[in-house]
């Protein structure tokens, strides 16, 4: 059984518009977006949970570290299900750490903590949950990046226009930290 629904964010989506409706989405068939070389797939968001939480996956190839950023009002989970991902985090007192996460490992980034990650094996996958008292930001990825209908990683990376970073970030509680350096091994 395959059902599709019209939604606020997508012409068609496997996520029901009615938040009181139970649903199942098969692997890969959530709302997809491309941002740089990564595929982001949203399975649930603030509209489904009275803004309590969201649930999405990030899949990508082995690549560079992403730009350092923080969320002033959002807690974020990095749970690796495939491959290997190096998580860089700085606490609110400026102490930096990095850890390699392999499948089943869990990283937690509190609000206001600068962080970044680097995918270190091809075909890696991160499960993400990102929410806080201010709500959820799962539509950040398709807004800074681009919605995708195709399955699989972007054929070519989607690179946003530079001026988009500031405007989109403000809208979704993401603050990029230009010039931030990791004094660990990054």
Closest CA to 182 of 93, 87, 73, 107: 87
Closest CA to 53 of 69, 42, 65: 42
Give 35 or 131: the residue with its C-beta nearer to its own copies. 131
Does residue 94 touch its own copies according to CB under 8 A? Answer: no
Q: Which of 11, 94, 133, 179 binds its own copies (CB under 8 A)?
A: 133
Does residue 44 touch its own copies according to CB under 8 A? Answer: yes
Question: How many residues sit in the footprint of its own copies (CB under 8 A)?
Answer: 49
Question: ∠ CA 92-96-98 to the nearest 5 degrees?
Answer: 130
Q: Which of 5, 9, 69, 102 binds its own copies (CB under 8 A)?
A: 102
* Residue 42 and residue 52 in contact, taking contact as beta carbons nearer than 8 Å: no
Closest CA to 39 of 28, 50, 48: 28
Give 129 or 153: the residue with its C-beta nearer to its own copies. 129
User: Token pair for residue 50?
Assistant: 């009275």
Look at residue 94 and give its three-state secondary structure: coil
Q: Which stretch binds its own copies (CB under 8 A): 4-12, 90-98, 146-154, 168-176?
A: 90-98
Beta bridge partners of 42: 31, 56
Residues 105-124 within binding reach of its own copies (CB under 8 A): 105-113, 115
Give 81 or 157: the residue with its C-beta nearer to its own copies. 81
Does residue 97 touch its own copies according to CB under 8 A? Answer: yes
Does residue 28 touch its own copies according to CB under 8 A? Answer: yes
Closest CA to 96 of 183, 177, 178, 175: 183
Query: By the criterion CB under 8 A, which residues form the site for its own copies?
Result: 19-28, 30, 43-44, 48-50, 52-53, 55, 75, 77, 79, 81, 87, 89-92, 97, 99, 101-113, 115, 127, 129, 131-133
């Amino acid at each position: 059984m395959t059902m599709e629904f019209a939604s606020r964010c997508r012409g068609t989506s496997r996520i029901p518009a009615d938040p009181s409706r139970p649903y199942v989405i098969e692997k890969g068939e959530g709302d997809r977006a491309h941002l740089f070389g990564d595929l982001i797939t949203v399975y649930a968001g603030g509209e489904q949970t009275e803004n309590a939480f969201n649930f999405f996956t990030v899949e990508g190839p082995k690549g560079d570290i992403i730009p350092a950023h923080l969320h002033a009002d959002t807690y974020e989970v990095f749970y690796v299900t495939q491959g290997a991902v190096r998580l860089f985090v700085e606490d609110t007192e400026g102490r930096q750490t990095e850890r390699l996460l392999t499948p089943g490992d869990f990283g937690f980034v509190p609000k206001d903590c600068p962080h970044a990650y680097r995918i270190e094996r091809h075909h890696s996958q991160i499960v993400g949950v990102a929410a806080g008292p201010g709500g959820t930001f799962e539509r950040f990825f398709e807004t800074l990046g681009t919605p995708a209908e195709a399955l699989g990683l972007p054929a070519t990376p989607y690179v946003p226009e530079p001026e988009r970073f500031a405007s989109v970030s403000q809208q979704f509680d993401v603050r990029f930290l230009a010039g931030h350096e990791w004094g660990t091994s990054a």
